[in-house]
Amino acid sequence: MTLEVKFTKLFINGDFVDAISEKTFETRDPRTGDVIGRVAEGDKEDVDLAVKAARKAFDHGKWPRMSGYERGRIMMKYADLIDQQKEELAKLECLDAGKLLALTKVVDIEGSADMLRYYAGAADKIHGETLKMAGNLHGYTLREPIGVVGHIIPWNFPSLMFFSKVSPALAAGCTMIVKPAEQTPLTALYHAFLAKEAGIPDGVINVVTGFGSTAGASIASHMDIDMVSFTGSTAVGRKIMETAAKSNLKPVSLELGGKSPIIIFDDADIDMAVDLARTATFYNKGEACIAGSRVYVQEGIYDKFVTKVTESMKSWVVGDPFDPHVHQGPQVDKAQFEKVLSYIEHGKREGATLVTGGKPCGEKGYYIEPAIFTDVEEDMLIAKDEIFGPVMSLMKFKTIEEAIEKANNTKYGLAAGVVTKDLNIANRMSRSIRAGIIWINCYLIIDRGCPFGGFKMSGFGKDSGMHALEKYLQVKSVITPIFDSPW
């Protein structure tokens, strides 16, 4: 599979430009480790230029001032252009990130276009309230765009993350700088090109490719950025919040890590539970913040579950993500590949039993056989840390009280799954687990209309749904006396 990489420069004020330093960095194909292309390496000076463009577009440009309806129409056109380029975008995404082509087309690329359409429909439904105040005072609220937004996004769902942040910000009337992850910069630049084609004015969307500690940190510390929306690790989220506070106290929205539990009760349909656990842990090679990698099974079906889930892995194919028969592609890069393998070694050293997988596979590239551990204790690293790879930890529980305690025994609170036919157990678990999304007899279902975001150290602020639009708006109260008012 070869593909021409068309866009490799920074996108600032409607033009593709080199980094001021003229530096570039490599992006690699995780199937082979070979270089796919070199991309402009933006740094502080480039972020400054992008912010100037975004500031001008916000303070004096058309985008925040046009009607929501007009913004929505342009966003609809943008979505159509993404659909038209679906094949090429999906291939580019898979080449850069090692994702499965067939799924990426639907989940990531069509999902991105639909995200845009959802918020395009919301753009002309943003309105304030009238306030009945004491005496002769008349008041109302305006909901105004928050201003220039910095979006810092990760590498596991490059397009979907781009649009889950850019779409509500566009609908709100904001202007923005997007920094894609250094591992997967390619589709963001293509999206920037399509934004221009759709008629989004220059300076509204700027894309600065580069590294986290340079370009990313410059966004977090910038005095002229009004808000930062981040998805990535908890460690980096903490840094961004500190930097934001130390600079201009810009608000931040953080969608961070997870170590989500799936709790399978004795009465569950065991085949469905096996399938859910397998997908929850190994989908996107485990590179998902919502991965359900702590699998708790009630003691009555535990042994049967271990046998079935292990057996089911025999039909799980690891290989080239462009092949439609493959279930799992390579990890995104060498660093992640090595990190995942070191967790697997750690699990073995800590005394957990590796019942299947856990080895590198393929002659080249970053492929790992999906690993399943039993005899996992709550305090082992593999049960506590977000591994971001195909590693399942199986654990046993007796009672619902124990299940609740174990599910909540984590610093994270992003998601959880409950598998049971008992409605009362499902409802009790849903209310007791401290996490932002609970799936009952399903897992990994996300939808543009459904608020998505964590509790605890998984962060705060929602992506998707109308809650996400709120992040990019601020409320202003306007008060005026009415003289000789009869009321």
Q: Catalytic site residues? A: 255
x-or-dash string of contact with ligand ADP, 169-208, rule CB under 6 A: ----------x-xx--------------------------
Residue 286 interacts with ligand ADP (CB under 6 A): yes or no: no
Residue 347 interacts with ligand ADP (CB under 6 A): yes or no: no
Residue 233 interacts with ligand ADP (CB under 6 A): yes or no: yes
Only one of the segments 54-62, 150-158, 365-373, 401-409 lies at the binding site for ligand ADP (rule: CB under 6 A); that segment is: 150-158
Residue 212 interacts with ligand ADP (CB under 6 A): yes or no: yes
Contact residue for ligand ADP among 220, 277, 383, 473 (CB under 6 A): 220
CA distance 216 to 84: 31
Residue 280 interacts with ligand ADP (CB under 6 A): yes or no: no
CA angle at 97 for the pair 108 and 291, rounded to the nearest 5°: 65
CB under 8 Å to 262, separation ≥6 — which residues? Answer: 276, 277, 280, 292, 294, 295, 296, 416, 417, 418, 419, 443
In 3D space, the residue among 61, 15, 64, 58 whose CA is nearest the CA of residue 40 turns out to be 15
Q: How far is the CB of 414 from ligand ADP (least distance, A)?
A: 14
Q: Which is nearer to ligand ADP, 61 or 210 (CB)?
A: 210
CA distance 435 to 410: 10
Q: Which is nearer to ligand ADP, 233 or 474 (CB)?
A: 233
Residue 217 interacts with ligand ADP (CB under 6 A): yes or no: yes
**Residues 268, 421: contact at Cβ < 8 Å?**
yes
Contact residue for ligand ADP among 216, 329, 357, 461 (CB under 6 A): 216
Contact residue for ligand ADP among 61, 72, 145, 154 (CB under 6 A): 154
**Residues 260, 294: contact at Cβ < 8 Å?**
yes
Q: How far is the CB of 180 from ligand ADP (least distance, A)?
A: 6
Residue 6: strand, helix, or coil: coil
CB atoms inside a 10 Å sphere around CB 47: 27
Contact residue for ligand ADP among 213, 307, 342, 353 (CB under 6 A): 213
Check residue 317 and report its DSSP letter: P
Q: Which is nearer to ligand ADP, 262 or 387 (CB)?
A: 387
Helices 158-172 and 111-122 meet at what angle, rounded to 10? Answer: 10
Q: How far is the CB of 236 from ligand ADP (least distance, A)?
A: 3
- Label residues 125-140 b or e (16+ Cβ within 10 Å = b): ebebeeeeeeeeeeee
CA distance 107 to 97: 14
Contact residue for ligand ADP among 236, 264, 340, 435 (CB under 6 A): 236
- The dihedrals phi and psi of 366, each to the nearest 5 degrees, come to -115, 50
Q: How far is the CB of 204 from ligand ADP (least distance, A)?
A: 20
Contact residue for ligand ADP among 71, 239, 259, 456 (CB under 6 A): 239
Interface with ligand ADP: number of residues (CB under 6 A): 17
**Residue with the closest Cβ to ligand ADP?**
212
> 418: which 2 tokens?
């409950």
Contact residue for ligand ADP among 176, 240, 244, 404 (CB under 6 A): 240
Residue 41 interacts with ligand ADP (CB under 6 A): yes or no: no
Name 152's bridge partners.
Answer: 179, 230
In 3D space, the residue among 416, 399, 419 whose CA is nearest the CA of residue 408 turns out to be 416
Check residue 328 and report its DSSP letter: B
Residues lying near ligand ADP in the complex (CB under 6 A) are found at 152-154, 179, 181-182, 211-213, 216-217, 220, 232-233, 236, 239-240
